[in-house]
Structure 1
């Protein structure tokens, strides 16, 4: 008997139909991978299961009983625990691990007004012991690694004896060792009878732990694949077209030098290195988390300072004191966390697709303080057509777009004005295969600049770059493109 039975589920947002008769079966002690392009309906389905949204139609049964949660609290009490990709809502710097584990309890009416530190530690330890986790209870949550934050989130989610655990991109910010540690825990929980719905764009994750893959497209489930999962077929089902060889032919850059680093040191103890980027080439820097990829891009963009050496842009010294200096010099950057660095909050003015693209160009596009929307809308309309952004129009809120389409909008922002050097930090994080191909085509179509991409995924580096460098202990090293996967102790085992 299935633990969860979803049948003919529908949900619309105005004229947009997010779910068009979705169905899903999950058995106890089973890990089911949920695959689908951005906008396929995965997030809407998960939000309905989690009690964040209500369905327009269809039925859900949990443990053979009607299941219609109206709030996340109702879903949790019924036995569904959800861990989202971002762990920011799990805790904050200044809270201990024990505090973060019991944070949800503090808001309950039944919680006493005065709670002792000893009782907090005792209850938090009991939560961890119940599922076999080991974390230092007095450690500051702000000092935890991404993997340990995930463990806190999972432990808190399972505190109510959940029957189904939903994980949304849990390894997006994890290193290879952290990913393997998480997988060991998930496989143990599965053996104990827990059902897991696992959402990820990383096929290596799914191949490692999934018993079955369910594919969504257009708000429906369009395919199911048992282990061993035929991922090429699953991806073709997901995007609705054949998956051709994705690797572009590497180009030998012969254009003028755009950017140089000479005898550069990212941190005082690191070995110095040189870097040369030429016009028209796409260079990927890849390595494990903490190796220095983001630090490298931050130094070029004026967020961090070099510990030693020099940088040249167009043959002239490049010493940006701020991102504004870097932008003025012709350097553009899309940071790793697009939600924090590139998108206006949902409740703020200027959260439309058009305004998202125009934000860093306001002083140039609107002189003397006069704001006219014509340029914004033209640039947004061009980006929609060129990048295949799925949206209701230029004035639609950026927060109504799927993750892949949000990332396309961020890329479009820096396509709207000429630049010498484009920096992209983890540009494919949380982006499905179809959107990734569109973004890669847009990146490689521009031959009037150099592009430097930081990615922790060797497969992504191999797919997008003309040339690949590895980074280890904040030092760059070249590597042959066809050998990059074996050269990096990266995300996948």
Structure 2
């Protein structure tokens, strides 16, 4: 008898069928990868298993018993716990790691009204001992690495005696070393009999730990692959077509550069470096987490100061004091965390697809203070067609779209007005293979500007860029065009 059995599960949202007779099983002591393009139904399935949503049809059994939790707390009590990509709800700056481990218990009415620091620490250590983790209990949760925050979330989940652990993109913000550490933990948990449903767009993750992979498309499970997993076939099953390269060949830089940095320094202790990007060229900046990729883009965009050196854009000095200055000069940027930096909150009126595109252009599009929706809608309709955005229409809330389609909208924002330099920080984070293909094609289609892309994934860098620059300790470590894999392996080993 399988631990989890999902049979013909269905769920619709108005006219959209998110799950269409989806069926799968998960056994004890195995890691099952769940693959699928954005919008394939993975999130809806996980929300039903987590008690966030209810199904319209079909059945779920857990340990041989009907399973239809009405809340995440009910799901956890039954043995199904989900750890999401974001750890924002796991803890917060100001709380210790011990506090974060015990947050669930603090909300339990059966707990004593008064608690001591010694008691909190003792209970937290017991949780870590039970799962074999080592974490700094007295450290501020806001100061620990992303990998440790993930381990806090997993430890808290296992303290609830979980039978099934669902992980949603757990390595999206982890370095290679942190990912390896997490994999060691997961493999040990699997040996102890825990079942893990692992959702990721990173085939390297799945190759490292998955016993088998299930592929979703159109709300149904359409493929199953045993180890060793044929990822080329799995990805083709996922997107429903043959996988072709989005970058048929690198372009050679010609003429004067659009943008240059000369004698630049990002931190007082970092080395000076030069950087140039030419018209029509896509340059990837890669390196380990903390190497300086985001800081470099932020300095170009005017949100942090450049400590030394000069910048030149189209032959003129580039000294932006703010993002508004950079935009006015022809520099556009999509920051790493699109939810915080590029999207309006769900409760705000300007959260539609059209309004998201128009936001930085309002002063230019509506010079006299009168807002007319025609320009917004036209741009949004063009973006939907050009970037293959899956959305009901231009007025749909951005928060109803999948992660890949949200990222396409963020890119469409900077396609709506001319720019000379496009800065993208981790543009493929949480984006499936099909959406990544569309985004790369859109980036490379524009030859009237240059693009500078920061990514921690060497595979992404090779796929998107004409030229790749490796950054280390906030300085340029190496540059290459094609054969840079050995450099990446050295930096991320």
TM-score, scaled relative to structure 1:
0.99
Cα distance in 2, alignment partners of residues 294 and 41 from structure 1: 32
Cα distance in 1, alignment partners of residues 417 and 346 from structure 2: 25
Matches within 5 A, 1:406-421: 406-421=406-421
Contact map agreement 1:176 1:490 (CA 8 A) in 2: no
1:216 and 2:200 correspond: no
| RMSD of Structure 2 on Structure 1 (CA) | 1.1
Secondary structure, counterpart of 1:127 in structure 2? helix
1:308 and 2:302 correspond: no
How big is the shift at 1:438?
A: 0.3
Change (3 A) 1:490 1:334: farther
1:148-168 Cα offsets, whole Å, 9 max, x none, are 110111111111110000000
1:177 and 2:177 correspond: yes
Cα distance in 2, alignment partners of residues 183 and 6 from structure 1: 26
1:405-435 Cα offsets, whole Å, 9 max, x none, are 0000000000000011000000000000000
Aligned to 1:482: 482
1:358-378 Cα offsets, whole Å, 9 max, x none, are 010011111221110000000
1:190 and 2:190 correspond: yes
Change (3 A) 1:21 1:159: same
Contact map agreement 2:467 2:482 (CA 8 A) in 1: no
Aligned to 2:351: 351
Contact map agreement 1:457 1:490 (CA 8 A) in 2: no
Secondary structure, counterpart of 2:442 in structure 1? helix
Change (3 A) 1:469 1:491: closer
Cα distance in 1, alignment partners of residues 367 and 294 from structure 2: 34
Cα distance in 1, alignment partners of residues 472 and 45 from structure 2: 40
1:54 and 2:54 correspond: yes
Aligned to 2:436: 436
1:265 and 2:265 correspond: yes
1:235 and 2:235 correspond: yes
1:127 and 2:113 correspond: no
How big is the shift at 1:256?
A: 3.4
Between 1:392-401 and 1:108-117, the stretch displaced more is 108-117
Contact map agreement 1:176 1:489 (CA 8 A) in 2: no
Contact map agreement 2:352 2:394 (CA 8 A) in 1: yes
Aligned to 1:396: 396
Matches within 5 A, 1:77-96: 77-96=77-96
1:110 and 2:110 correspond: yes
Contact map agreement 1:288 1:490 (CA 8 A) in 2: no
1:298-332 Cα offsets, whole Å, 9 max, x none, are 10011111121111111111111111111111110
Q: Which runs of 4+ in 1 moved over 3 A?
A: 489-493
How big is the shift at 1:246?
A: 4.1
Change (3 A) 1:208 1:238: same
Change (3 A) 1:110 1:195: same
Secondary structure, counterpart of 1:367 in structure 2? coil
1:178-220 Cα offsets, whole Å, 9 max, x none, are 0000000000000000000000000000000000000000000
Aligned to 2:318: 318
Instruction: Show structure 2 runs of 5+ residues with no match.
Output: none
Across the two proteins, how many residue pairs are aligned to each other? 493
Secondary structure, counterpart of 1:488 in structure 2? helix
Secondary structure, counterpart of 1:254 in structure 2? coil
1:113-151 Cα offsets, whole Å, 9 max, x none, are 211111111110000110000011110001010101101
Secondary structure, counterpart of 1:376 in structure 2? helix
Aligned to 1:74: 74
